[in-house]
Chains A and B, each alone.
Chain A
Amino acid sequence: MSLAGLRSRWPAARASLIALAIAFGLLDGCPLPEGAGSAERARRWLLQPVDGVKRDLELTQRWTLFRKASTRRFRMVVDGLDRRGAWQLLYRAGDDEHDAYGDMLAYRRMRGTYNPRGQLERGQYRRFARWMAQRVLADHPELVVARVRMERIEIRDGTYTPTNEFTMEQREIRRAP
């Protein structure tokens, strides 16, 4: 086929490709009711041709910003045990008086790794917490143990109440030199 022939067919080919891309996007992002196993399987089967691209480039068309805004949330607490046996509070989310590492922990990608998804810890949380506790020990030679954990909070009427219940705890102990 001549170049002119190819050029004349290009608009139709492009429109087809765009239609296909939109169809795959809508299929990927289309909301399905929870427990619709067969529909989900059908979706996965239909998306097979683009699965490699989707996985390699980490692309999705399901957008879930603040899917839920539960009243049962958490605040992260970082503290360390000194040689006298006293816990030193270094960081507590939302507490201006204990704000060591505040700038770093407020960075969106950092928060993404520690802020629980719903009531569950994220996939990277343990690795993050271990790294964080080791960083605290490296920065504070006076500490023998560092601890990263989440305190449960209850949000009501635009304010929150700490519960003094802790979860997702990760401790690191200073090894003898």
Chain B
Amino acid sequence: MKVWRGWIELWDRREPVTALALVRILVALVLLYDYLVMWKLDLIEPLWSLPPDGYATPNDRWAVRWFGGGPDAAFGLWLATVIALVAMAAGALTRVACVAFVLLSAQFAHLGPDADRGIDQLLRVVVAILALSRSHAMWSVDAWLWRRLGRPMSPIVPAWPRYLLFAQLVWVYFSGGHNKTGTEWGPYDGFTALANTLADPHFARFAPDWVAALHPLTRVATALTITFELTSPLLIVFTYYAATADRPGTLRRWCNRLRLRAIWIALGISFHVGIAITMQLGIFPLGMLALYPIVLLPRELDRFGARIR
């Protein structure tokens, strides 16, 4: 009973909305960038139209049933998605925009199952959680409007959506780690996974000469990557220890003193920045980094905000 009460209390906590508002804006901007790149490269028609105009997969979902599978329907869906993302970033009718994005993005997934990457699936989950949150209580048209109407939104909101996003991020890394079944990720094949991936011409941003020159370093990076992913659940413990630093406990004291949480976050950031520099994975690194405000404690974000101001 005590555990259950603790569980209810955990999900009933409240905190400043800063992290959720930041994630809403950053995720929307990253996705918007991706959809604009698609338009710039003239890929809306090939990706989302059925043959012969494009190479989308025939299906009987609502988008195809209602609008058909032609180029006009593809452009219409794309435009609706872009409008939803602009509204999400601006915080205008935020919850409606979030729900619209999730539904539209799922239709794209049905039209192009192979074009729907892990980051698309992850950001659908994230935006669905944001739709249930009060991420629009700050830096949004919604908040401005309510203020003008004399009923300002409280900047202190339920914390559970951030906790859930935090758990999702940790699970993505942990699941990514335990699903890496290739022997190249382990000592049996000498931790060669990153070198192999960086030399793969479908992913590499640069010619692979530099990979050969730095081969030992890529092995260290592979070992670090797999360690980082498999130990990601520890981030929950490190964050709990950081949030309750004034409580007693040797392990807590040592974790905080060794700054294990900061090291883990720095590793995560460098992992994604490294991917962004060396590989052509599209919005994957940016989309992941857009979630990082949720790993910071509210007081850290406040300090960061004050420093910027």
Contact = CB atoms under 8 A, between A and B. Distances in A.
A94 B116 contact: no
Contacts, number: 196
Contact of B55 (A58, A104, A131, A155): A131
Nearest to B183: A68
A57 B106 contact: yes
A63 B179 contact: yes
B202 A111 contact: yes
A66 interface: yes
A113 B102 contact: no
Contacts of A127: 51, 55-57
Contacts of A111: 202-203, 280
Contacts of B160: 14, 18
Interface in A113-134: 113, 115, 122-125, 127-128, 130-131, 134
A11 B12 CA distance: 6
Nearest to B42: A104
A47 B102 CA distance: 21
Nearest to B195: A158
B282 to A, nearest CB: 3
Name the interface size band of chain B. 35 or more
B176 interface: yes
B46 A69 contact: no
Interface in B100-139: 102-103, 106, 109-110, 112-118, 121-122, 124-125, 128
Interface stretch (A38-46, A73-81, A139-147): A73-81
Contacts of A67: 179-182
A83 interface: no
Contact of B115 (A25, A70, A113): A113
A103 to B, nearest CB: 6
B211 A153 contact: no
Contacts of A173: none
Contact of B54 (A22, A59, A103, A131): A131
A130 B8 CA distance: 55
Nearest to A122: B114
A60 B121 contact: yes
Interface of A: 11-12, 14-15, 18-19, 21-22, 25-26, 29, 31, 56-71, 73-76, 93-96, 103-104, 106-113, 115, 122-125, 127-128, 130-131, 134-135, 153, 155, 157-160
CB-based closest 10 A-B pairs: A94-B201, A108-B282, A68-B182, A158-B211, A69-B193, A109-B115, A58-B109, A127-B55, A158-B212, A93-B201
